[in-house]
Amino acid sequence: MSQKLKGKVCIVTGGGHGFGEAMARRFAEEGARVVIADINPTTGSKVALEINGLHGEKTALFQEANVTSQASWAKLLEASLKEFGKVDVVVNNAGTTYPKKASHTVTEEEYDKVIGVNMKSIFLSVAVVVPYFLEQKAGTILNISSVGGIRVKNGLVWYGGTKAFVNKITEGLASEYGHSGIRVNAICPILGYTDLAQSFMGVDDTPENRAKFEASFPRGEALKLNTSTGYVANAAVYLCSDDAAFVSGICLPVDGAATVFAAGGMCNISF
């Protein structure tokens, strides 16, 4: 590997599965030390253990975290600094959704959860971590958004609204803190084959339905070669590396051209 992140310490929320796990593993391959923050201690600690087995002890740390709690964020930063002495990158990856359905049938509990995990978590990360970044006069924030925040899909309107929020605050934070050495970017992935795939599709996550999805946009066949989690991890390495020192305030679609191809949603498919 090219060691693009050598010497950097990266916090990845939701690092125990899906996009977060893929990023944590790639960051370690690129020379970073990684703090895997996840609400699930079983999956999070397993990923950290496997990374340490591949790249040596003290490469990865697992920290149980609830991203909707400011106290939990404070403990996460404290544990990261105690273990590695600094923090260079925070990846706000933790996210959730509800099963795809008519917007008026979404429950208040489902709405509150998606708002808390997808929006409040980033607010809290800024409240806790940005003062530290200001003190060291450098830092990188990467928010994992969604193409659903660019083109809101029927049945996932409230979810899409949270991701549109992520896109706009990414731009605003990049502008506000750019003179202080802080970069802020976002990645907007298309559907990842994670534990949330069925909720996003609104149908069973089967090989047949995946094939329909992959056939619905120009580069869909690429998902057969490398899942979107891998593509997101590759983009994250670049945006968190010094190669992207002049890149801030962007919301990068990683979607096989689905956003520009589909006029009315995340992809030109109706299940």
Determine contact, residues 60/53, Cβ cutoff 8 Å.
Answer: no
Label residues 145-164 b or e (16+ Cβ within 10 Å = b).
bbbbbbbbbebbebbbbbbb
Helix axes 18-29, 228-240, angle to 10 degrees: 50
What is the rounded CA–CA span in Å between residue 95 and residue 163?
10
What is the rounded CA–CA span in Å between residue 159 and residue 98?
8
Name the 3-class secondary structure at 248. coil
What is the rounded CA–CA span in Å between residue 44 and residue 38?
6
Choice among 98, 159, 177, 231 that is catalytic: 159
Question: If 0-12 CB within 10 Å is exposed, 13-18 middle and 19+ buried, where does residue 60 land?
Answer: buried
Question: Could you confirm whether 177 is annotated as catalytic?
Answer: no
Bridge-based pairing of strands 182-189 and 60-64 is unpaired
Fill in the DSSP letter of residue 259.
Answer: H
Measured in degrees and rounded to the nearest 5, phi and psi for residue 218 equal: -55, -45
Determine contact, residues 45/76, Cβ cutoff 8 Å.
Answer: no
What is the rounded CA–CA span in Å between residue 55 and residue 58?
9
Structure tokens at 163: 């991701």
What is the rounded CA–CA span in Å between residue 91 and residue 12?
5
Q: What positions carry a catalytic annotation?
A: 159
